[in-house]
Structure 1
Amino acid sequence: MANVLDVTRLTTQFTKKGTALTVVDELSLHVKKGESLGIVGESGCGKSVASLSIMQLLGQNGRIQQGSVRLNGRDLLTLSQKEMQRIRGKEMAMIFQEPMTSLNPVLTIGKQMSEVLEKHEGHSKQQARQKVIELLTLVGIPRATEIFAEYPHRLSGGMRQRVMIAMAIACNPTLLIADEPTTALDVTIQAQILDLITKIRKELGMAMIMITHDLGVVAETCDRVMVMYAGQVIEEADARTLLRSPKHPYTIGLINSTPHKSKGAKRLNSIAGSVPSPDDYPPGCRFAPRCDKVMPICLTHRPELIGLDQQASCRCWLYEEKAERSAVMQ
C-alpha cells in the first residue's frame, strides 16, 4: 500500500539572535492510508514543530533547512503558499492543541466552518450550512442548528474541540494531524474526544498523526509510535511492541513514570533533569546527561538511528556494538 505521507530527513531551524538553532533534526517518517502514527515526547522535544513543518505553518523566524515532505507523492516543500492554501484543509488538516483559543472569537461557529466548505468544495452558503449542521451532528454536538449561530465563547472546551474536529474533517482529508487534542480537557471529555477521533478516522479511512505526551493516548489510538527527544527520533516500533518492550533508556523511563493501579500509592519514578535547549545540545547522545545507562562513548559520539528488525529502530549505543568498537579504536 502506498504511503499517504512520506517525510525524509526533515530539518527545521529557528533563528535566535542571528543564530540558527535546529529544533527538528533529520526527521523521517511515513504514514499509510488508514494508519495512525503516534509521536511522543516531553514538551520541547520538537514534536509540535514537526507537525507545523509538515503543514508549512512555521513562524517568520522558522525555516525548513533540508528534507522533503511528500503528500500523496507530491513534495509540499516545492509548492508556493497559494498552492499550500489549497491543500491545507482539503487534502490534509490539523486539530490544534488548544480548543479555547483556536477558534476566531468574533465569528460564529457556522461562519468559520462554512468558509472551509465554500473555499475548498465550492459550496453555496445554503449547501455549506446544511453540511456544517451534518458535521456538527456527526461529532456529537446536540442542537447543531442552534450551535451554528453561536460564538465560541458560548461553548465549553469539549464542545469547541468537537467543532475543531468537525472543521478538520469537513473535506475528508487524506491526512489528519492531531496535536495534543485533549490537553485542555477533563478526563471524561478526553476519553470521548479520543473515541470520536478514532471512530471518524476508521470510518473515513484517513491517515493520522497523533502528537501527544500521554502514553495512554498512544495505547488507545495508535498503530505505530515514534519517540522524540531533543529534536531527534530515538525509537520507533509498533505500539504494542514499544509499550511492552521499550529499548531506549528514555522510552523505558517514560513508561516507568506512568502511574499504574497496581503500584498503589508508591512514589512515581521520574527521569532526572530536563530536555536540553537547542542552543545547548550535548556533543554526543543528547540524552546522555540524564541517562542511567550512560557509557563514555555516549558523551562524545552521536549515535545513529539503527534498525533492530523490520518493525523497530533505536538511537542508542547499547545497540551499536560494531559502531562502539570502531569508535573506541579511533
Structure 2
Amino acid sequence: MSKGTKANPFKDRQARKAAGRFAPVPGQQDVVSTTRGDTVSGSQPGITFAQGRPEKMMTLADLPEPIETPDATGDLSEDEEQILALCMRGIQQFEDAWWVMGKAMANINNRRLYRKTHATFADFAREVFGKSRPSAYEEMTSYAIGELLSARADRAFEGKSNGVSSRADTPSITKKAAGALNPITKDYGPETSVAVHETIKDATGQTVTVKALTGIVQQLPRKQDQELSQEQLTALVRELAVKAGNERQTSDSQASAVAALRIAVKQLEDAHRALAPARVKKALEEDASGAATLLADAKSAAERAAARASASLPRT
C-alpha cells in the first residue's frame, strides 16, 4: 500500500464483481428495474445513484439460458418480447459501460473523492481500478463523447417489426475510437470530436475504423499550432478522409489483381499435379485416342500460359 494510503473499503470490489453482484447499501430499499424503467420491490439489491434514482445493474443471472428454438416462426410471443427487450438492455449496458466508468473516475478525481482512502488519484486509479494515471486521464477525456451520443439516444425507439429498432441517427463509437479522438476533444471539446467522427463516416460511407481515425487525427494541426473553426476543421477532415479512401481503393484494387493471379497460378499447379504419369498412363490404356487428344490440348494450353506469363514479366 502506498505511503499515506488509508484503509481501503474497495478491497472486496473484485470479489463482488466476480460474484456478479453489488453489496447492498445499508438502509437502502431493495429495488429491481424493469425493462420499462419502472422500479418494483424485489429480492435483489440495487444501486442508488445521485438524486436517489435506483437502478439495477444487469448480471448474467438476469438473462435466461440461450435455448435453441430452430422451429420458432411468426411474431414474437409476449415472453419472447420481454426476453428481447432484456437482451437489448444488456447490449446497451455493455456499450455504455466504458464511458460510464470514465465519468465515474472524472467525478472521483475532480471532486477529490479518492481522499477517503488514498493520498492521490494516481494511487487510487492504480490500486482500485488497475489503471495508470495517464490511462485514467485518457478515459476521463473520452467519456464525454459517449455521453453526447447517449443523450441523443435517450429519445424513444422508432417503431419497427416487433416494436424494436436501433435508435435513429445515433452513430456507435468504441472506447478505442473515442480515445483516438482525444487530441481533438482536448483542443476543441467533445462536440467537435463527434462532428469529426460523423464527417469521416459521411465522407467514406463506411464504419470508421480506429486505424483510419488515428491516421486522420494525426494529420490535423493541434490548436496550439493552428487554431481552426469547426467548419475549417471538418472541411480538412473530409478532404483527408476522401484522400485516404481513394488510396485504400487503389490498394484494394491492386491487391485484388494479385489475388486473382495467385488463384490462376494455383489452378496451373493443380493441373500439373493432375497430369501425374501414372494417371496419364492409365488414361492412355483406357482410351488411347481420346487421352492423346486431351494431352495435346493440355500441352497447347500450357504453352499459351507460359508465353503470356513470359510476355508479362517486367523487362530487366
- TM-score of the pair, normalised by structure 2: 0.23
Higher relative contact order (CA 8 A, sep 6+): 1
Higher strand share: 1
Higher helix share: 2
- TM-score of the pair, normalised by structure 1: 0.23
